[in-house]
């Protein structure tokens, strides 16, 4: 067996906790710090929290859906867990690194796996300046917000904002506006994964903007820099019939 030592992590819901109790009785389990693989029981939110918590260990993580959407999760079954882990396909993900500077001069750093979202905080639209690799590409974007999405996150908030679905192996990032007012017809851009994206907030005190990296929020930002961290690789495990790459591809043919 590839993964002899398994750690079980569950969401706080009754459904996930009961599943975790049954699996711990059925299979030997250990702490996440000693595990060869971590099995997550819950939904995509629990999966993201677990990935963030274990960034440094880079231990393979296998999810089973005991939540709602479960896009990052496999089907929940209690039997033959070791065999499923051994047969699972690896999907490597690289997180986005966000550096946000606020109007009071403070800097905040965070990682995310889905998207970095800039969102207006008040009734007034945000006014943003977009630069790619330190070259200004759009002097003014008036909008409700802006997303920088990874391929894995391109089917989440990005898709709801009418952004493109990005295949996992494409090595691209999606830059997607939220309710763009000016230029009205701008629908975003696809950028190489090596790009460094800088968003400057015009009139940050009059038109305050927050920056959100997965579940880390920084309010009243004046500049946000986003890039893919090439030095961190996270590994998810998927049953062959529920491969994440196939799921992302299938989303493009879902009516």
Neighbours of 225 (CB within 10 A): 18
Structure tokens at 85: 């882990």
Per the residue annotation, which of 44, 220, 229, 246 is the catalytic one? 44
Sheet holding 61-65: strands in order across? Answer: 6-10, 37-42, 61-65, 234-238, 89-93
231 an active-site residue? no
Contacts of 15 (CB under 8 A, 6+ apart): 66
CA angle 181, 187, 193 (to 5 degrees): 130
Short-list 86, 111, 114, CA closest to 100: 111
Phi first, then psi: what are they for 19, rounded to 5°? -60, -40
Tell me how far apart the alpha carbons of residues 72 and 43 are, in angstroms, rounded to a whole number.
8
Q: Return the exposure string of 235-249: e unless at least 16 CB atoms fall within 10 Å of the residue's CB, then b.
A: ebbbbeebebeeebe
| Pairing status of strand 96-102 against strand 216-218 | unpaired
Structure tokens at 59: 């231990």
The set of catalytic residues is 44
């Amino acid at each position: 067996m590839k993964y002899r030592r398994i750690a079980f992590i569950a969401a706080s819901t009754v459904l996930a906790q009961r599943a975790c109790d049954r699996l711990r009785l059925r299979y030997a389990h250990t702490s996440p710090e000693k595990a060869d693989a971590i099995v997550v029981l819950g939904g995509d939110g629990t999966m993201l929290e677990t990935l963030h918590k274990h960034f440094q260990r880079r231990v393979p993580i296998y999810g089973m859906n005991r939540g709602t959407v479960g896009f990052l999760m496999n089907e929940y079954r209690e039997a033959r867990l070791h065999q499923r882990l051994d047969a699972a396909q690896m999907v490597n993900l690289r997180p986005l690194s966000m550096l946000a500077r606020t109007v009071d001069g403070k800097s905040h750093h965070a990682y995310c796996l889905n998207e970095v979202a800039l969102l207006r905080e008040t009734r007034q639209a945000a006014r943003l300046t977009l630069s790619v690799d330190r070259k200004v590409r759009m002097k003014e974007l008036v909008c409700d917000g802006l997303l920088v999405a990874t391929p894995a996150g391109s089917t989440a908030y990005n898709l709801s904002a009418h952004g493109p679905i990005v295949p996992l192996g494409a090595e691209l990032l999606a830059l997607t506006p939220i309710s763009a007012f000016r230029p009205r017809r701008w629908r975003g851009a696809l950028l190489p994964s090596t790009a460094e994206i800088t968003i400057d907030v015009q009139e940050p005190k009059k038109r305050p903007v927050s920056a959100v990296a997965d579940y880390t929020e920084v309010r009243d930002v004046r500049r946000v820099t986003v890039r893919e961290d090439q030095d961190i690789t996270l590994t998810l495990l998927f049953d062959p019939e529920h491969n994440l790459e196939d799921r992302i591809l299938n989303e493009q043919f879902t009516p």
